[in-house]
Amino acid sequence: MDKKWQVGLIRVVTLSDRDMAELHGRLIMEMFPALEVETRCIPDQPEGIHDPESKAMAVPKIIEVAKAFKDKDVIIVSCADDPGVKELRRILTIPVVGAGSSVCALAMRCGPRTGVLGITDYAPPPYVDMFGDRLVNLGRPQGVNNTLDLLTDQGQEAVRKLGMQLKEAGAQSIALACTGMSTIGITKPLEEYLGIPVIDPVTAEGLFAYYECIQRNSK
């Protein structure tokens, strides 16, 4: 199938390994063959975004990277925090998609209460903005402090346990809040285990990038 649309995807972490950096883009191109994804990382931030300070440091870099893309139909900021997304929507003339607001929009279809499941104690801003006091937040999985912890058996068991607690607390869906959850492929097994929809961040941002491209095309 012809690549119809050009997507610029921003990783909010500095990764020297090209294959690892391009993993989100590859997942999106598999699901949406009409999209061609070019990936760029922000510079000098190998620890990525993990708290409000590191987010503040990343936002101006994200804006610079976004502006440097050429001839794109849509920009994806591939992070559940949606860092820089509001700012970029004011600056750029093309649509800007964030992982966080995309996950929340999909979760909203499943009912007004969703459980946020990420690797930080605080819920990322889009989750709070969109669900308000209907967001179910029980903090992060026990013992999980970064995406590497998600690769261990204990880490994955902690994710399953927290997912079940969120469901028991009334969540009608699980809104994953870290794109690292997508890369370890936990979405489907977790959904089968919990029996409620689990929303995958990279799938979600890909879907809305595709939507924006269709919209743009029909204008």
Which residues would be at the binding site for a copy of itself (CB under 8 A)?
Answer: 1, 31, 101-102, 104-106, 108-109, 111-112, 129-130, 132, 188, 203, 207-208, 210-211, 214-215, 218-219
Decide whether 13 or 106 has the Cβ nearer to a copy of itself.
106
Check residue 190 and give left, alpha or beta (phi > 0: left; psi -120 to 50: alpha): alpha
d(CA 152, CA 148): 8
Q: Between 68 and 132, name the residue whose CB sits nearer to a copy of itself.
A: 132
Supply the minimum distance, in Å, between the C-beta of residue 30 and a copy of itself: 9
- CB of 104 or CB of 123, closer to a copy of itself: 104
Residue 43 Cβ, how far from a copy of itself at the closest point, in Å?
29
Nearer to a copy of itself, 71 or 132 (CB): 132
* Distance of closest approach, residue 93 Cβ to a copy of itself, in angstroms: 13
For the residues of 61-122, what is the DSSP string, one character each? HHHHHHHH--S-SEEEE-STT-TTHHHHHHH-SS-EEEHHHHHHHHHHTT-S-EEEESSSSS
| 86 touches 43 (CB < 8 A) | no
